[in-house]
Structure formats: C-alpha cells, structure tokens
Structure 1
Amino acid sequence: MTIYVGIDDTGNSESVGTGKFARIIAGELSKDYPVYGVTRHQFYVHHDINFSLHNFGAVIHVDTEEEHACDIFELVKEVMQDNFNDGSNPGLAVAHENRISPAIVAYGKDAKEEVLTSKRAKNLAVNSNIRLESIGGNGSGVIGAVAGLGLAYAGNDGRFLQIGRIRKLKGPQPVENLIGAGIDGIFTPDGRSITKGIIFNEGDKPVKPCPINGKVILFVNEENGVLNAVTRD
C-alpha cells in the first residue's frame, strides 16, 4: 500500500528547487518510513500560471499503511514551513492510494494541458477526504500538489528523481549496474530491449527512468553504437 506526498511550487529563483527539496523531504521521511521513490511531473506551461522555472511538481511515494498519513502530513508540513522561501507558493497534499479517486487522476491529466484553479483542487481534497494545505504565498501550490497525486497514482507519467540506488551512479554506467540499482528494464523508443552495453547520460548526472505500467523503465537512443539516456516528461 502506498501513501503519496505531493508538493509543488516550493521555491523561487534562488532556492534549491522543488525536485531537490522533495528528495530532502524523502530523506527525512525515510528515517521512519519506507520511501519507494520520488517522481517529477510536468504541468502546463502558460503565461497565466505563476511558477518559478519549469512548472513541475514532485511526489514522494511511501510504502506504508493509511494510518500513517496524518503523521506524514505533519512531518512534511513542518519541514516545508521551516524551509519556506519568500516569493514561493508551496502546496502540500497527502493521500493514501485508496483516497485517490478517478476525479483526482483526471485533474492531474488536465494540469498537463489546461490552466486550473485552486478552488477545484480544494474541492477535490474535501470530497476525497485527503489532506491538502497551502503552506504560504498565494496558495496556488495546492494545484500541483493535488495534480501530482493523480499523476503518480495513475502511473505512466513523469520520471523518477530518486529510485533505488540510481543517484549514486553517475557518469557512464554498464547496463548491469543500472538494472541492479533499481531499474527494471532499458528500452529504445522503438521497443528494443537493451541488455548489455554502456549507458551515457548528460554530464555527470544520474539517469532518470520513467514509471511505466508499474515498472521502472529507462529509455535510451542508440546512435552509431552509442547508448544515450533519454529524458522524458
């Protein structure tokens, strides 16, 4: 069973950013709960939407029972309050998988294509009995927090910022190392399974696989025999 922790718009141009902040929170949660991973979910980029850099949210996946949802919410809320950045509009949503309704999944999908309102996010939270709160600013962060829950629960969206041991593997890596670190499979976009070789990624960064049908999948392009990791949103 999984509890999803959705956060959005936690930073400004001078902060560490939502992705890194989500991993910091995941580290705090992992002291008491089994954290499965952290996913990044891209939302609609539009001039009517207030965001700092790229308009994405992050979701922390915690493998635990629903009875811990309130304690997790309070722990994350405290960390977010202690690290509030002026000019940001952070929102926090926490829900056990049993609370994530089809309407929340639809809201998440709409957030990738439309300008949404915080009122709809708040109504969804009330009607689904999930914890949602604006931690500061103008409150717009609740939109991405709820949308992230729907996208993470439905799967097949975004990419993992943290899963298994992949963040410890930087620079070119053999396929065997990546599979052993938490990736379930490596494929080219046209469907060929990659079982051997060296995977290259931009700079010295760890690869970012995608959640696909319950699996952790890394996509690569092969050019002149060289395998390059693909970043997908």
Structure 2
Amino acid sequence: MTVYIALDDTDMPDSPGTGRLARDLFSLLEHRYHLLGITRHQLYVHPDIPYTSHNSAAVIHVHAVPHEERDALFEEVAQFVQSRAAKGSDPGVCMTDHESVTPALILFGKEAKSTVLTQDQAITMASHTGVRLIGLDGTKGGIIGSLAAVGLAAGGSDGRYIQVGKIRTLQGQAEISAIHDAGIPAVYSLDGRSIDSGEVRFRKFPQPMRINHSPVLFVREDNESWIVERRD
C-alpha cells in the first residue's frame, strides 16, 4: 500500500526549491523504507495565490509503511521540513495512504490546478478524510498545495517524476535501453507509438510523466533522434 508524503511552499526566491527539499527527505528515509519515487505536481498560477516561482508541490511515494509507524513518521517529516524550510516560507505537509484517498480529495487536487482554494477548505477536507495535514510556519498556506498534491498523486495521472529509479544518473542524452534500465518502463511518441530504440536527448535528466501510476516518457522526433516532450 502506497503512502504519500507531500510538501509545499517550503522555499523562498533565494533558497533551494521544494523539490530539492523533497529529495533530501527522500535520502533520509530511503534507508528505512522502500521509496518508489518523487513526483512534482503543478498547481494553479494566479495573482491571488502566493508562490515562489512555479507553484508546484512535491510528493514522495513510499511503499508499505506499517500503521504503527505512521504517526512517528509524520512527526519526523514535519520536524525535518520545519527545520529545513526557508525562513519566510509558509510550509505545509500532508501524509496519507492510498486506500484513504477519497474521490473528493482527488477532485480537490484537480480543482487546485485551475481554482483558488482556501486553507479552510483544505482543513475541512482533511478532517473529513482523516488525512494527516499540518502547517508549519508563516501563513501555513502550504497546507493547500500539499493536500492537493496528495489527491493528484493518488489519482495516478498527474505530474512528472523528478526522482524514480536511476533517472538522475542520465545526463543530456541516452539510448532507449538505458532509459528503460534507469526506471522508465515506457517511452511513447506524441502520436501514440511505443518507441523501443534510438537515442533520446533531454535537458539535465529525463523527467517522465505519471500516467496510470507509472512513469511514461513522451518524446518527439528531431532528425534522426528523439527529444523529450516536457508537459506538466
């Protein structure tokens, strides 16, 4: 059973982003738990929503955390984020298991991509679903994005992976076979073809989309090779 740990609004313009903090937390936890990856989820960009750069949240996917350990794990995560979040940020943390995610929470996540939501709505949603949710500093506005990100991650077809397998060891370009070996099982062209051979070029490292709970890399043709198609 997957457990989702979501972080939002942990950074400031002159600090590392929430994705970086999520990777640091991943490194802390990976020696004790089976971690499946980290996904980035794009939320609504609107003048009424305070955000640092892109208004995205990060979710760590953890496999099978024993029930008796979950309260302690949530407290550990909250303490880690509070100690590492940038001064002046408004961090929020959310955690729940996949089976506890309701259709209403998935809808909350989808609405957060195109609607201005409030902390009161997030608190009410968390109280009705039993989701662990906490604001740690500042305005605590990060509770909205972290809760939404859990709903989006649980829905299975939103966001992209910023860490899964060994994707971060690939730099600039790689053969399809190496991409598979790194932890991306499927590569598709935009017109629906499964791409099984050839070279793919990308910026930094490949960041596959999350489709049906699995990493899928979309590419487009460029002369005799492929280029990663980036879409949030």
TM score, norm. by length of structure 2: 0.97
User: How many Å apart are 1:66 and its aligned residue?
Assistant: 5.0
- Secondary structure in 2 matching 1:86: coil
Runs (4 or more) in structure 1 with deviation over 4 Å come to none
Which aligned pairs between 1:1-233 and structure 2 lie closer than 5 A? 1-65=1-65, 67=67, 68-202=69-203, 205-233=204-232
Which structure 1 segments of 5+ residues have no match? Answer: none
Measure the CA separation in 1 of the matches of 2:44 and 2:213.
24
Listed one character per residue, the Cα deviations across residues 11-32 of structure 1 (whole Å, up to 9, x for unaligned) are: 0001110111111111111121
- Secondary structure in 2 matching 1:28: helix
Amino acid of the structure 2 residue aligned with 1:47: P
Deviating more after overlay: 30-39 vs 80-89: 80-89
User: How many Å apart are 1:65 and its aligned residue?
Assistant: 3.4
Measure the CA separation in 2 of the matches of 1:93 and 1:66.
17
Amino acid of the structure 2 residue aligned with 1:229: V
User: How many Å apart are 1:75 and its aligned residue?
Assistant: 1.6
Contact conserved, 1:29 with 1:72, CA < 8 A, in 2? Answer: no
Contact conserved, 1:8 with 1:92, CA < 8 A, in 2? Answer: yes
Amino acid of the structure 1 residue aligned with 2:40: R
Amino acid of the structure 2 residue aligned with 1:222: E
Deviating more after overlay: 73-82 vs 34-43: 73-82
Contact conserved, 2:106 with 2:155, CA < 8 A, in 1? Answer: yes
Amino acid of the structure 1 residue aligned with 2:62: V
Measure the CA separation in 1 of the matches of 2:167 and 2:180.
9
Listed one character per residue, the Cα deviations across residues 84-125 of structure 1 (whole Å, up to 9, x for unaligned) are: 312211000000112111111000000000000011111111
Q: What root-mean-square deviation, in Å, do the aligned CA atoms of Structure 1 and Structure 2 show?
A: 1.0
- Secondary structure in 1 matching 2:200: strand
- Secondary structure in 2 matching 1:161: strand
- Secondary structure in 2 matching 1:78: helix
Measure the CA separation in 1 of the matches of 2:164 and 2:79.
24
Contact conserved, 2:21 with 2:84, CA < 8 A, in 1? Answer: no
Amino acid of the structure 2 residue aligned with 1:100: V
- Between the two proteins, what is the percent identity of the paired residues? 39
- Secondary structure in 2 matching 1:41: strand
Contact conserved, 1:69 with 1:96, CA < 8 A, in 2? Answer: no
User: How many Å apart are 1:172 and its aligned residue?
Assistant: 1.0
Listed one character per residue, the Cα deviations across residues 130-152 of structure 1 (whole Å, up to 9, x for unaligned) are: 11100111011000010000000
User: How many Å apart are 1:216 and its aligned residue?
Assistant: 1.3
